Amino acid sequence: MDDKSPQVNKWLITISVMIPALIEILDTSVANVSLTHIQGSLSAGQEEVTWVLTSYLVANAVVIPMSGWLARLMGRKRYLIASVVLFTMSSLLCGTATGLEELIVFRVIQGLGGGGLQPMSQSILLETFPPKERGLALGIFGVGFVVGPILGPLLGGYLTDNYSWRWIFYINLPIGILAVFMCRSFVFDPPYQKRRQKGEKVDTVGLMLLCLGIGSLQIVLDKGQLEDWFNSQFILTLSCIAVVCLILLVIWELRHGSPILDLSIFKDRSFASGNLIVFLGYFAFFGSIVLLPLYLQTLMGYTSFLAGLVLGPGAALAVGMLPLVGKLTEHFDSRKLLGFGLVVVAYSVYYMSEFNLYIDFGTAVTGRLLQGIGAPFFFTASAFVTMAYVSNQQMNNASAIFNLLRNLGGSFGVAFVSTALARRAQFHQNRLIEHLNIYDPGFRFHLAEQKAALAARLGTMSDHNDAAMQMIYGSLKRQASALAFNDAFFVQALIILGLVCFLFIIRKPPIAKRRPAAGQK
């Protein structure tokens, strides 16, 4: 470790840590659109091939919380570079895989390498900027979280269609080499960086509990709906393992002298409240992000391109506003900025809960634009108020916890919406189907109308009763699904709005002093 860190331009450091963070975010979604090609190429089953995604997410989730400890063990710069190298080399191996088992193993290694990139990049960025300018740093860092999930499927689809699915992994090689060069040149360990003391025992019990608990939880969230949740012995067993291990982990880490995860930082009420807002906020926000394109494509008949046109303007607006909001944290109370963001995002999701099957393109775009206005305030201000009073010595540990809870919030949110849609669609279908009987005037009129339309198109040799009934039932299922989407949007809007209450617990974050006007002292 250097006794004195060289003075490096903060923007060079920003670029250096943004590159590895962005490629890691890209790889969480880049393979989604290539699964069918991978399945055919490697002769895999439909359920088996989804482990290409799950294996990466599980390994990633396990490493994120222990990244602070690994940085202390190896030195942060060395750990960051080692993570980039492992991520890049495993990406190359993923591209050369000849079987599904090989690909899954290499994806696990890739996830282990990628897990430390987000928290380490964030902690370095926060330390590079003065405390009162951290909002700007977080605004810039947030660009990756907006661009990554959008660019990932687009890049994955383009490379798969025009070259091969293997290129979604090969593309990481030149970017990884550039990231290693930048990190070696411009990133340095600060003199106050804590290192593992000689003779200090490794928290083996905490390490095992963390791996088992977080790994099992991530598999449950990713596979739960597919396996019908607790009706599956597999999901039930993993859920029990996750709950027991995570409870024991908290008890053990609070008592251990050199824990893998230092939970004492939750004594800071701003950090504790901020993380609660982040977890529940990302739970609801990411759920709504998943819902909108599903609504447009499955119910409205939009193509992937048209759905992208709906999502694009809101994302572009958010990207443009993120640095601006970061700058606003230097002049305004970030709790108020966060409150504004929560209210706008809550309204945007409520706006979507009023959608029906006859909305036009402009209505769909408006809902997304409202999200694009509120999201930058939520992303930047939530991170700023959470990390405002974290010392530089605790930054690695705090960033690891923050990123863990943010990612888990998103995973819980996606699991929630997939389950809510299935359950609420069935509920509404059972309610609507009560009206499909010959004693209901509306049903009789609609049945006669459909039969007349079929007769005009196909002739009168048959009464077309069965075909008309099938068409009505299909319309009913579509309406039931639309109502299920409305329910899910509404619940998420309530959750986001309710988070405003926690703002009163958070301490007032620092605000940069205004410069005196010319001629004033």
Q: What is the pLDDT of residues 426-451, one digit of tens each?
A: 888 887 776 666 666 666 556 666 66
- CA nearest to 143, candidates 313, 278, 322, 277: 322
Instruction: Tokens for 80, please give them.
Output: 């960051």
- CA nearest to 18, candidates 160, 163, 139: 139
Chain segment 302-355, per-residue pLDDT in tens: 876 777 788 778 888 888 888 888 888 888 888 999 999 999 999 999 999 998
| pLDDT, averaged across the chain | 81
Q: Do domains 7-193 and 266-509 have the same CATH topology?
A: yes
Q: What is the pLDDT of residue 160?
A: 78
Domain boundaries, the chain: 7-193, 202-257, 266-509
In terms of pLDDT, which residue wins out, 502 or 42?
A: 502
**Across residues 39-43, what is the average pLDDT?**
78
Alpha carbon distance 136, 124 (integer Å) = 14
Alpha carbon distance 418, 177 (integer Å) = 38
Residue type present at position 3: D
Instruction: Tokens for 68, please give them.
Output: 């602070």
Q: What is the pLDDT of residue 15?
A: 85
Q: What is the pLDDT of residue 463?
A: 58
- What kind of architecture, by CATH, is found in domain 266-509? Up-down Bundle (1.20)
Residue with tokens 């997939």, as numbered in its chain: 418
Q: What is the pLDDT of residue 512?
A: 57
Chain segment 102-154, per-residue pLDDT in tens: 888 998 899 898 888 888 888 888 888 777 777 787 888 777 777 776 677 77
Whether pLDDT at 49 is above 80: no
Chain segment 180-229, per-residue pLDDT in tens: 998 888 888 777 666 655 555 777 888 888 889 888 888 888 888 777 78
The third-level CATH classification (topology) of the domain covering 7-193 is: Growth Hormone; Chain: A; (1.20.1250)
Give the pTM: 0.79
Rama region for 131: left / alpha / beta (φ>0; ψ in -120 to 50; rest): alpha
Residue with tokens 């993993």, as numbered in its chain: 238
